Structures are given as structure tokens and as C-alpha cells.
Amino acid sequence: MDIGSEASGIASLIAPILEPLATGLELFGVGVILVGVVIATGRYLLDVFAIDQRDAYERRCHVVSPGRG
């Protein structure tokens, strides 16, 4: 028995376990990104409609240009 056939045997045993785990991890990552986008958009829209647009811009100015004062 050579190393190549033994390694492929182990891989064929592990792959069915790791594939759903990797898929779940990918879906979780996409979900986190989408939730972040929805939260950021919601906060922005609340700022725009709740207060004057100029005040909203000035409140978020530090996010747009960090380190510029």
C-alpha cells in the first residue's frame, strides 16, 4: 500500500464531514455581512430622516474621513 492511496482513503472519510461544515461557515459569513449592511443602512436612513441632513453629515464625517479633524 502506498502513501497516495492511504491519503485519498483518509480524505474520502473526512470530506463528507468537512464539506457541510465549510458550507455552513460560508453561509454564516455571508449572513454576518448582510446583517451589517442592513444595520448600517438603517442607521444612516434614521439619521437622514430624523435630523437635518447637514447635521447627519457632520455627525458621520469622522467615519468618512478618519484622522482629518
> Mean pLDDT throughout 55-64?
61
Per-residue pLDDT at 48 exceeds 60: yes
CA-to-CA distance for 15 and 13, rounded, in angstroms?
6
Place of cell 448582510: 34
Residue 12 belongs to a domain: no
Residue 63 belongs to a domain: yes
Residue 15 belongs to a domain: no
Residue 28 belongs to a domain: yes
Task: Provide the number of structural domains found in the chain.
Answer: 1
Residue 34 belongs to a domain: yes
pTM: 0.56
Residue 38 belongs to a domain: yes
Per-residue pLDDT at 20 exceeds 80: yes
Residue 48 belongs to a domain: yes
